[in-house]
Amino acid sequence: MPTAIKLQLSSVVDSYLKELGNSDPKRLLEYSVNLHGAWNNILDSFGVRDDDVVLDVGTGLGLIPFDIASKTTAKVVGCDISAEYITHSKHILEKMEDAKLLLDKTRLSFEVADITSLPYSSNFFSKIIVREVFSYLADPYQAAQELSRVSKLGADILVEDIDDSLYITHPLPSPAFETLFDIVKTLQNDKGGDRTVGRKLSTYLSSVGFSIVDVEVITESSHLSSEQMWGEKEFIARQLIALKPQALERGIVTVSEFDSAFNTWLLEEIHSGFRMNGRILVRAKKVVDNLQQP
Ligand SMILES: C[S@@+](CC[C@H](N)C(=O)[O-])C[C@H]1O[C@@H](n2cnc3c(N)ncnc32)[C@H](O)[C@@H]1O
């Protein structure tokens, strides 16, 4: 994508971010924008063509479909279990259209759908993307089966997810931060999610008719200045405040335990430091015909 268009695409998203109050959709969009920075080459090498029919599952606020629809006239569907996120995706779609950033608006749609029960015909999509969704699922195998069902024979799939063992920092996180991070992990596991799912993705896919083409660890690493650490801390603090009610409701932590860890961490001095975050990316191809599956 030419740089000018890339900047315009992000300027629509940036201005939408400013419109969103401090809310869950805003935090997700910020998260996705950060993540998307490393995805230019990944999406380019996925090679979406104008005659492809593409599904982005767990699309969030739709960054991947917008990116594809600004470069190709492929038919693209973004789906997500959250009706709220899909409503926002549709609003952003209108703004993208107003800014003339989409090659053909009629080829792009968003709808509510659960990855474990997709409302699409079998053998329908030629390309599927699933970025950071498996880590939220209680039944990843059922999800993989659905992805296989809706894929055409020969379809390409790109699945990426986290694996907590690939997150390293220097200095090490403080005990107070470890406590807070444990609360986040427990909350996600409690809902059936899995923060070490990255290493399992290729096994899920290969068990449902996909042949694994490539498995890659994509890493972001940087030395953050103390100002950047401040920015990161503010971001994490907002996420933690948003998660606190759910953690209390589920009895994972008491108010005083949460507040004590949170306030201790908040008051800790900020130093510059090293961060590496790795994610696992699996490319696979559908090789077993649905009709031949038992
Ligand atoms: C971390 S976000 C990733 C968003 C987007 N894929 C991205 O990379 O920018 C995880 C997304 O998965 C969605 N999700 C979680 N469970 C889902 C399910 N069962 N079916 C479909 N989407 C789901 C969430 O609503 C959320 O939008």
Q: Indicate the average pLDDT of the chain.
A: 93
Cα–Cα distances (Å) from 21 to 16, 25, 27, 55, in that order, read 10, 9, 10, 29
Distance from C-alpha of 115 to C-alpha of 109, rounded to nearest angstrom: 16
Contact call for residues 157 and 130 (beta carbons, < 8 A): yes
Given a cut of 60, whether residue 85 has pLDDT beyond it is: yes
Question: Max CA-CA distance within the chain?
Answer: 61
Strand partners, 108: 76
- Number of residues that this document lists for the chain: 294
Q: Which atom of ligand 1 is nearest to the CA of 36?
A: 9
Is 288 close to ligand 1, i.e. is its CB under 6 Å away?
no
Residue with the two structure tokens 């924008």: 33
Distance from C-alpha of 217 to C-alpha of 198, rounded to nearest angstrom: 9
Q: For 154-165, what is each residue's pLDDT tens digit?
A: 999 999 999 999
Distance from C-alpha of 157 to C-alpha of 209, rounded to nearest angstrom: 12
Residue with the two structure tokens 């994610």: 279
Q: Which atom of ligand 1 is nearest to the CA of 160?
A: 8
Locate the domains of the chain by residue range.
3-163+193-220+276-292
Taking the complete model, does pTM exceed 0.85, yes or no?
Answer: yes
Distance 213 CA to ligand 1 centre (A): 24
Given a cut of 60, whether residue 134 has pLDDT beyond it is: yes
Task: Domain 3-163+193-220+276-292: state its class.
Answer: alpha beta
Q: For 30-77, what is each residue's pLDDT tens digit?
A: 889 988 988 989 999 999 999 999 999 999 999 999 999 999 999 999
Contact call for residues 262 and 240 (beta carbons, < 8 A): yes
Distance 58 CA to ligand 1 centre (A): 3
